[in-house]
C-alpha cells in the first residue's frame, strides 16, 4: 500500500512539474518601439486566441536595439518590433535576428515588405504623402518633384533630417532616381522651407493650419489620429483643413514604410515568437492595425477605417523596403549636403 501511494505521489508530482513547465513556456517576451497602449489590443487578442501571454517592454527604437546588444545572449527578448525599415535594417546589420522560417509569412506578405533574407517582416504600412491647406489646393502638385518649384518658396513644413521617416523618404528616392537627382531635389525642397524644421508630424500639420506654411510632408496616421480625436478640438480643426495628395501616381507611387518585427537569435521562446508575428500578419490583426492605429495593412483585401477610406485608393512605391536601410547612410549624408538640418 505504501509503495502504491508513493508511486501515485511521484506520478502526480511529475504531472504537476510538467504542467508548470508547460505553463511557464507559454509566453513570449516582446521589446516594442510601438507604444504599449497601441499594441495592447493586438496582444490581448493574440493571448485570447493562443493562450500565450506576452510580456512587453516598450521604449525608443534605437534604445531598444542598444539594450539588446548590451544584453547579448542573456537578453530575455524574443521579438523586436520596431518602426521604419531603416531601423529594421539596423537591427539586421547588428546581427541580432534569426531567419523567419514561415511559409505563411512568405505567402501572405508581399515581398517588398519583407527582408530579402527573411530576417524581418513588415506588419503595418505607413504612407508619407503630401498634405495641402486650402491655400495650396489649387496648385499643380501631383509629384514629390513638384515641391521644388520656386513659386513654393516659404510654403513647406517638414520634420528635420534627423527623423528616420524623412531619411527613408530620401533613401527611397536614391533607389528610384539616383543620388545626383535626389540631391538636387533635396536642395530645391530646402529652399522652399517655411521655417527651420522642428517638432513632429503633428506639429507640421498644426503649423500649416495656423498659416505658417501651406504644404506638409507627413505620415497619414498622424493626420488620422488628429481627425479621430474630436475631443482635442484644436488638433481636429487643424487636421480638418488638410487635403491628402497621393504623389507620383503616374510613375513610381507614393512613398511608404512599415513597422515590422524579427525574432532574436537568442530567443528562448522562438516558437511562440513566430506565432506572435504570424498572428500580427493575420487578417484579424491587420484589420485591428487599420481600425485602432489608422495604419494601412500590408495585405490586400483588409477593411479600412472610414478615415483612411475617405482619402481614396493610392498606388504605393514598390521599392523593396530593405533598400531604405541599405541607402540610409547615403541619405543622411545627402541631406546634410543639401542643408536639410
Q: Are residues 37 and 164 in the same domain?
A: no
Contact 98, 264 (CB under 8 A): yes
Q: How many domains does the chain have?
A: 2
Contact 273, 100 (CB under 8 A): no
Report, as an integer, the average pLDDT of 327-331: 97
Contact 260, 121 (CB under 8 A): yes
Q: Are residues 168 and 248 in the same domain?
A: yes
How many other CB atoms are there within 10 angstroms of residue 73's CB atom? 7
Report, as an integer, the average pLDDT of 242-257: 97
Q: Are residues 121 and 153 in the same domain?
A: no
Q: Are residues 239 and 327 in the same domain?
A: yes
pLDDT class for 22, splitting at 50, 70, 90?
very low
Looking up cell 507627413 gives 218
Contact 77, 29 (CB under 8 A): yes
Q: What's this model's pTM, rounded to 2 decimal places? A: 0.88
Phi-psi region of 248 (alpha: psi -120 to 50; beta: other; left: phi over 0): left
Give the start-end residues of each E strand in the chain.
27-32, 53-58, 79-83, 121-127, 130-132, 156-157, 215-217, 243-245, 256-263
Percent of the chain with pLDDT strictly greater than 90: 88
The pLDDT score that the predictor gives to residue 17 is: 36
Q: Which domain holds residue 120?
A: 27-126+258-303
The pLDDT score that the predictor gives to residue 74 is: 96
Q: What is the CATH number of the domain that holds 231?
A: 3.40.190.10
Residue 290 lies in a domain: yes
Tens-digit pLDDT profile for residues 276-321: 999 999 999 999 999 999 999 999 899 999 999 999 999 999 999 9
CA distances to 85, 173, 200, 296 from 253, rounded to whole Å, are: 17, 11, 24, 15
The pLDDT score that the predictor gives to residue 136 is: 84
Q: Are residues 164 and 240 in the same domain?
A: yes
Would you say residue 2 has pLDDT above 90?
Answer: no
Tens-digit pLDDT profile for residues 153-189: 999 999 999 999 999 999 999 999 999 999 999 999 9
- Which grid coordinates are listed for 66? 542598444
Q: Which residues contact 44 (CB under 8 A, 6 or more apart)?
A: none
Amino acid at each position: 500500500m505504501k509503495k502504491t501511494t508513493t508511486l501515485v505521489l511521484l506520478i502526480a508530482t511529475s504531472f504537476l512539474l510538467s504542467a508548470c513547465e508547460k505553463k511557464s513556456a507559454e509566453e513570449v517576451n516582446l521589446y516594442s518601439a510601438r507604444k504599449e497602449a497601441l499594441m495592447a489590443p493586438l496582444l490581448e487578442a493574440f493571448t485570447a486566441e493562443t493562450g500565450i501571454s506576452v510580456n512587453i517592454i516598450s521604449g525608443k527604437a534605437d534604445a531598444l536595439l542598444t539594450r539588446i546588444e548590451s544584453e547579448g545572449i542573456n537578453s530575455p527578448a524574443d521579438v523586436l518590433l520596431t518602426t521604419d525599415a531603416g531601423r529594421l535594417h539596423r537591427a539586421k546589420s547588428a546581427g541580432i535576428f534569426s531567419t523567419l522560417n514561415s511559409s505563411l509569412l512568405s505567402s501572405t506578405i508581399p515581398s517588398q515588405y519583407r527582408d530579402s533574407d527573411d530576417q524581418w517582416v513588415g506588419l503595418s504600412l505607413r504612407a508619407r504623402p503630401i498634405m495641402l491647406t486650402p491655400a495650396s489646393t489649387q496648385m499643380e502638385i501631383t509629384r514629390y518633384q513638384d515641391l521644388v518649384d520656386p513659386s513654393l518658396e516659404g510654403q513647406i513644413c517638414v520634420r528635420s533630417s534627423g527623423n528616420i521617416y524623412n531619411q527613408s523618404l530620401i533613401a527611397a528616392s536614391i533607389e528610384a532616381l539616383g543620388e545626383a537627382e535626389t540631391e538636387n531635389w533635396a536642395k530645391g525642397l530646402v529652399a522652399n522651407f517655411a521655417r527651420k524644421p522642428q517638432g513632429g508630424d503633428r506639429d507640421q500639420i498644426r503649423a500649416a493650419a495656423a498659416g505658417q506654411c501651406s504644404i506638409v510632408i507627413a505620415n497619414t496616421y498622424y493626420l488620422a489620429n488628429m481627425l479621430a480625436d474630436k475631443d482635442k478640438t484644436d488638433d481636429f480643426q487643424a487636421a480638418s483643413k488638410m487635403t491628402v495628395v497621393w504623389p507620383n501616381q503616374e510613375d513610381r507611387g507614393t512613398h511608404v514604410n512599415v513597422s515590422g518585427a524579427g525574432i532574436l537569435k537568442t530567443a528562448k521562446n522562438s516558437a511562440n515568437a513566430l506565432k506572435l508575428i504570424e498572428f500580427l500578419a493575420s487578417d484579424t490583426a491587420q484589420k485591428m492595425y487599420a481600425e485602432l492605429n489608422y495604419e494601412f495593412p500590408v495585405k490586400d483585401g483588409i477593411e479600412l477605417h472610414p478615415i483612411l477610406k475617405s482619402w481614396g485608393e493610392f498606388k504605393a512605391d514598390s521599392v523593396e523596403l530593405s533598400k531604405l536601410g541599405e541607402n540610409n547612410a547615403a541619405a543622411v549624408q545627402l541631406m546634410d549636403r543639401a542643408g536639410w538640418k
